[in-house]
Structure 1
Amino acid sequence: MSNESDPTTQKPAKPVRRFGTGVLSLLQVACVTVLFAAVNYLGSQHYVPKDLSADSAYTLSPATQRYLQSAAVKDRAEPVRLLLAFRRSSPIYDRVRALGEEYYRLSGGKVKLELLDPVRSPDRTQQVAKEYGEVFSTSFGKSMFTTDLAIIDARTTDQKQTSLTAEAAGNASSHVHFIEAERMIRYETEFKGDNSQRKITGFLGEDAITTGILSAIEGKPRKIYLLADKSGFSNEGADSPLTNFEATLLSQNALTLRARISGIERIPDDVSAVAIVNPTYDFTPQELEVLTEYWERPKSSLLITLGGVDTPPRLRAFLRNVGITPRKDRIISKNGDQVVTNVRAGFTAGMEFTRDFANKTTIFEGATSSLEVREKDNEDLTSKGIRPYVLIETGNDFWGETKFSTAKPSFDPREDNPGPISLAGAVIRGAATRDDLGERISRMVVVSNSDFLAPKYFSDINKDFLASSVNWLIGREELTGSGPRTLGSYKLPLLDSQVSFINRVNLFFLPAFGALIAGLVWSSRRA
């Protein structure tokens, strides 16, 4: 039996090849270095940023993203210049910088970003002031860089050769837009005793910059005729529905011009759309002819929001002829014995410009009537090239009450209109499916409520719906959908006893818990 421990039977050890091992190690290190450099290079060139903030605060809205991908931006021969002149000490500097970088990235470089700190770069600041200072002073009545601001310049090379002075502003300066930092911030005033202090509670940067880029690219705003002599809204001020309506359209680079249809023989051709808000006074036969002549033109657009009173007879007949009939009722529901007049409804997926709102709900407060939208059994309308669509519809729990003035209304299937109830509809007239005639179609949006335009009822989704409707009417489909959100800070209301409990937990219980864990670890190691 052999002895395995006998040294005479052991195999001789192989010599250590130190040179070969060293070369192999160097090759491994070199391969890892090359691989690391290649991965980093590819990562720097091909990457997808991810917004990990809780409320997606650094993600642009779908409407802004679609606009940056549209032909209005992508097909430009020269990029739009976005100059953000903000001090590093500004409380919104980080948000503005991140916002500008997103515009540059999503536009594929068609929005050229420049960051400027007026304090740290005095030479560059003087160059910018020399180029834009005079027209800024003319527009705002003060010198540049007294506050932080953004400059959006969408001029072409030929327009840039024109000096931006007060005398030579003209068409060149219409493509230059200034946004002061105050327009990007929402404030609230806090009162403490006899002192008051303004506090930043919201960030409106995306809304302001998107509006600025749109205004700079288009130059002059679109004209919207508002037939003020037919509206039941006459009050002015910050709480006025008409003032809020005009401000919303202005944020879409659409200028509302109040007109009296009784004083015009023909609506001008340069008008992009006609708005009828809360119609209380009926049209005369001559005025209706003016409205009908406009509607029968190619590329005409009508926006109509009905009010709390019955729709005037001639306007009602005009709408019935295009497939949308306002009913003489009020939409209500019941919660036990309580009558509910705040109408909750959902958006349909029938139209492209409301695709972002599909299956989402909104609330219309105030008086709301129902609409009969002839989506089906409308061969007579189809033969005329007219197609109605439902945009907003209630559930089965709401109905159209015809005797809404009674003290205790209840649903009567013989007289009332059962749910689901249509609240808004759209009409297309023309050959929308033909490529050669698709741009010549006429469009109309009808909403059976006007009170939603009041600032106290104007929710974010209603604002987006109004803006999308206007943009669809004037042919800006790329700006439809969910728009910029107001990013804000919110307070968590706590009682004094709750604040005291949280302080005790932070000051005593958490340190005591940490000390207990440390003691247990020390004791276990000693054992």
Structure 2
Amino acid sequence: MTVSPELPSVDPKAANPPSGSSPVDATASDEASVTAPGAVGTSDQHDEASGLSENHDVSSGSDDVEAVAIDKVARDASTADDAPAESVVSAVASVAGAAGGVSLVAGLVWWAAVQSTSPQVLALLIVGAVLVAIYAIVNSRDLLVWAGSRGAQRGSVATVQSVAVIGLLVVINWTANNFGGQIDLTAARRYTLADQTQKVLSQLDRDVKVVAFFPSRQEDPFTRGTKSLLNQYQKASPRITIEFVDPDVNPGAAKQYDIKNYPITIFTSGDRKEETTGLTEQDFTSALLKLSRTEKKKVYFLQGHQERDPDSSQPTGFNTISQALKRENYVVEKLSFLTSPQVPSDAAVLVIAGARARALENEVKAVSDFLDAGGHVFALLEPKQETGYEAIFEKWNITVGNDLVIDPSRNYNGDPLTPAPLPQPGHRITGSLTDVLMPGSRTITPKSAAGTDLAIASLLKTTERGWGETTMAGQAKYDEGVDVKGPVSVAVAVNRSDPTAPVTPGATPTPGATPKVPKGRIVVVGNTEFASNTLAAPVLGNRDFFVNSVNWLAEEEDLISIRAEPQSAATVVMTNQSQVLVFFTTVVLVPVSALLIGIAIWWQRR
């Protein structure tokens, strides 16, 4: 590029130098002025070059801005293209996380319910963990950002505290379960072994192995409760060992014990074996009794005089009582004096249950001889019915009344003819007895045993308002001097003492050689219906009273207690006193109390 120099303009001051200056100075000044145009041209060239450079920088900056804009547009377009895909992945991950959480919770709940890691439980836990992991990986950046927030920090502190509390509770429960006892707060003592079971376990003199064949595929809450029940047996006695076997997983063990049907529980001790398909405490305790006792005592039910049938399932039958005795390890058989003129020598107890026909003389003598020989008789009588055994009862200081027991104070459902007599303390039969119902009873009164070798006790009595009605003409009411004044007895137990025979004076007694009078025991109850199928099953006190009486008669007092109960809903039997109490409490006391409180509050606010 060619730059033409420009001629400088002549400064007037330069043409007319000031006075005092020489011509030489003027000439120098002119030379300087002549040289200046070159300098001026050079400066102009530099300025032009600078302008070109500035123009180039502006052009370059515009190109960079344009490139950044283009790149941003490209990225936005790429982001816009990827947004739908990321949205789908995030949505799928959210669904997977929710499903995983549900699966984990379901698996934990299932495990807590069944107390075992079954394949189904493991599958739920594994699937839940995988799904939650997928959610965490996809949303890792958001989770990291959230973890750094203040809310997350506060939440983490609360989570740590919650986990610590839960962990402490788990440790306490584990310690109590493995090293401590348990407290049963249920009214029915559902999680406590019955007194009878504890007695049987405490008297075990041999090791017993219990093998329970319970398939896991059939496991339900009742089966799990049964396992817990068996574990209580093991905790209660060091001689009990429990093994649970799944016959589907271990068919060899099932074949070893020759198991074809299950669930079934095998009790073994040495070469003896008992098995039960039941799942209740009654079944297990009964199996232990059969296993631990080598002798099975026989209970004979006398027949031939319209007595109750121990095999009958009819409402008036005694099948419920018969089954209860068999669970106590007794053998129940029938006896007829037509085929056997005497009571068999192996009879532990002879039961006369509601005879409606008078016994013959030879039959009465057979029963009397059995008692005199140290036998045991359990007589249940119908009201206003002669049996022929009254002379035997008198001999044992028992008076049988020809009347009907009435108790307006303590009865069932307001029916005075169905008294609920009170168990009397001081006797092994009634020591742990609950309420008993005796519909249609007659009085059984003990005589004085002074001067005799008999020990006699009343077992059940009415309240003081009860009496023995002798006439039953018109409306029942107590007639002074005619009826039997209450409280009246409806059951009596008598046993003969066992004194030594007198020793000849001056003779040296031989230890163990002194003869003893044979012992005999008898229980007489003025009612038969209490032990029928109708009442023995729902009214537990009735069944316990019968079985306790048989145990006492058979000299098996160690078995007298509350029977081991199955886990079923209990039937509430309310006497008229209980009904009156409930009525006044719920219908009168509670509403009146609420009303009085409301009035008091209103009065204060007024």
Percent identical among aligned pairs is: 19
User: In 1, Cα distance between the equivalents of 2:190 and 2:356?
Assistant: 42
How far apart are 1:432 and its partner, in Å? 8.2
Where does 1:39-54 land on structure 2 (aligned, <5 Å)? 47-53=180-186
The residue aligned with 2:549 is: 469
The answer as to 2:463 corresponding to 1:395 is: yes
Instruction: Give the 3 Å change call, closer, same or farther, for CA 178–112 of structure 1 in structure 2.
Output: same
Over residues 470-499 of structure 1, what are the superposed CA-to-partner deviations in whole Å (9 max), with x where a residue is unaligned? 1122122121111122322589xxxxxxxx
The amino acid across from 1:110 in the alignment is: R
Instruction: Give the 3 Å change call, closer, same or farther, for CA 316–326 of structure 1 in structure 2.
Output: same
The residue aligned with 1:451 is: 529
The residue aligned with 2:322 is: 246
Does structure 1 conserve the Cα–Cα contact (< 8 Å) formed by 2:383 and 2:403?
Answer: no
Over residues 186-240 of structure 1, what are the superposed CA-to-partner deviations in whole Å (9 max), with x where a residue is unaligned? xxxxxxxxxxxxxxxxxxx101111111122235632111111134436933434
The amino acid across from 1:177 in the alignment is: E
User: In 2, Cα distance between the equivalents of 1:258 and 1:490?
Assistant: 32
The amino acid across from 1:323 in the alignment is: N
The residue aligned with 2:419 is: 343
Q: Which has the higher helix share?
A: 2
User: In 1, Cα distance between the equivalents of 2:243 and 2:545?
Assistant: 33
Q: Which runs of 5 or more residues in structure 2 are unaligned? A: 1-171, 502-510, 572-606
The amino acid across from 2:264 in the alignment is: L
- 1:148 corresponds, among 263, 272, 276, to 263
The amino acid across from 1:449 in the alignment is: N
Over residues 87-140 of structure 1, what are the superposed CA-to-partner deviations in whole Å (9 max), with x where a residue is unaligned? 234222221112112112222x222222222233x1xx423422x31xxxxxxx
How far apart are 1:260 and its partner, in Å? 0.8
User: In 2, Cα distance between the equivalents of 1:302 and 1:212?
Assistant: 27
- 2:288 corresponds, among 196, 205, 213, to 213
Instruction: Give the 3 Å change call, closer, same or farther, for CA 47–353 of structure 1 in structure 2.
Output: farther
- 1:60 corresponds, among 193, 196, 213, to 193
Instruction: Give the 3 Å change call, closer, same or farther, for CA 364–225 of structure 1 in structure 2.
Output: same
The amino acid across from 2:455 in the alignment is: R
The amino acid across from 2:454 in the alignment is: I
Max radius of gyration: which structure? 2
Does structure 1 conserve the Cα–Cα contact (< 8 Å) formed by 2:384 and 2:442?
Answer: no
Instruction: Give the 3 Å change call, closer, same or farther, for CA 427–54 of structure 1 in structure 2.
Output: closer
Over residues 409-442 of structure 1, what are the superposed CA-to-partner deviations in whole Å (9 max), with x where a residue is unaligned? 2111111001111111111112289998999632
How far apart are 1:403 and its partner, in Å? 0.8
Instruction: Give the 3 Å change call, closer, same or farther, for CA 239–47 of structure 1 in structure 2.
Output: same
Instruction: Give the 3 Å change call, closer, same or farther, for CA 308–49 of structure 1 in structure 2.
Output: same
User: In 2, Cα distance between the equivalents of 1:236 and 1:483?
Assistant: 22
The answer as to 2:255 corresponding to 1:129 is: yes
Where does 1:12-411 land on structure 2 (aligned, <5 Å)? 47-53=180-186, 55-70=188-203, 73=204, 76=205, 78-88=206-216, 89-91=218-220, 92-107=222-237, 109-120=238-249, 122=250, 125-130=251-256, 132-133=257-258, 144-154=259-269, 156=270, 160=271, 175-180=272-277, 183-184=278-279, 205-219=280-294, 221-233=296-308, 236-298=312-374, 300-312=375-387, 314-334=388-408, 340-357=416-433, 360-365=434-439, 367-374=440-447, 377-380=448-451, 382=452, 385-404=453-472, 406-411=473-478
User: In 1, Cα distance between the equivalents of 2:415 and 2:464?
Assistant: 15
The residue aligned with 1:413 is: 480
- 1:428 corresponds, among 487, 490, 495, to 495
User: In 2, Cα distance between the equivalents of 1:302 and 1:85?
Assistant: 42
TM-score, reference length from structure 1: 0.66
User: In 2, Cα distance between the equivalents of 1:451 and 1:215?
Assistant: 29
Instruction: Give the 3 Å change call, closer, same or farther, for CA 51–432 of structure 1 in structure 2.
Output: farther
Give secondary structure in 2 for the equivalent of 1:224: strand
Instruction: Give the 3 Å change call, closer, same or farther, for CA 440–218 of structure 1 in structure 2.
Output: farther
Does structure 1 conserve the Cα–Cα contact (< 8 Å) formed by 2:351 and 2:378?
Answer: yes
Q: Which has the higher strand share?
A: 1
Instruction: Give the 3 Å change call, closer, same or farther, for CA 232–474 of structure 1 in structure 2.
Output: closer
User: In 1, Cα distance between the equivalents of 2:535 and 2:177?
Assistant: 47
Instruction: Give the 3 Å change call, closer, same or farther, for CA 339–148 of structure 1 in structure 2.
Output: closer
Instruction: Give the 3 Å change call, closer, same or farther, for CA 283–176 of structure 1 in structure 2.
Output: same
Instruction: Give the 3 Å change call, closer, same or farther, for CA 433–347 of structure 1 in structure 2.
Output: farther
The residue aligned with 1:15 is: none
Give secondary structure in 1 for the equivalent of 2:383: coil
Does structure 2 conserve the Cα–Cα contact (< 8 Å) formed by 1:231 and 1:276?
Answer: no
Instruction: Give the 3 Å change call, closer, same or farther, for CA 104–315 of structure 1 in structure 2.
Output: same
Does structure 1 conserve the Cα–Cα contact (< 8 Å) formed by 2:267 and 2:274?
Answer: yes
User: In 1, Cα distance between the equivalents of 2:499 and 2:306?
Assistant: 31
Give secondary structure in 2 for the equivalent of 1:81: strand
Give secondary structure in 1 for the equivalent of 2:301: strand
Give secondary structure in 1 for the equivalent of 2:485: coil
CA-based RMSD of the aligned residues comes to 3.1
Does structure 2 conserve the Cα–Cα contact (< 8 Å) formed by 1:87 and 1:93?
Answer: no
Give secondary structure in 2 for the equivalent of 1:67: helix
Does structure 2 conserve the Cα–Cα contact (< 8 Å) formed by 1:332 and 1:342?
Answer: yes
Give secondary structure in 2 for the equivalent of 1:275: strand
Does structure 2 conserve the Cα–Cα contact (< 8 Å) formed by 1:241 and 1:451?
Answer: no
Does structure 2 conserve the Cα–Cα contact (< 8 Å) formed by 1:179 and 1:208?
Answer: yes
User: In 1, Cα distance between the equivalents of 2:560 and 2:527?
Assistant: 21
How far apart are 1:389 and its partner, in Å? 0.7
Aligned residues: 380
The amino acid across from 2:226 in the alignment is: V
User: In 1, Cα distance between the equivalents of 2:379 and 2:525?
Assistant: 6
Does structure 2 conserve the Cα–Cα contact (< 8 Å) formed by 1:295 and 1:442?
Answer: yes
Does structure 2 conserve the Cα–Cα contact (< 8 Å) formed by 1:428 and 1:444?
Answer: yes
The amino acid across from 1:217 in the alignment is: S
The amino acid across from 2:281 in the alignment is: E
Over residues 297-348 of structure 1, what are the superposed CA-to-partner deviations in whole Å (9 max), with x where a residue is unaligned? 23x2111111134232x3011111101111000011348xx86211111101
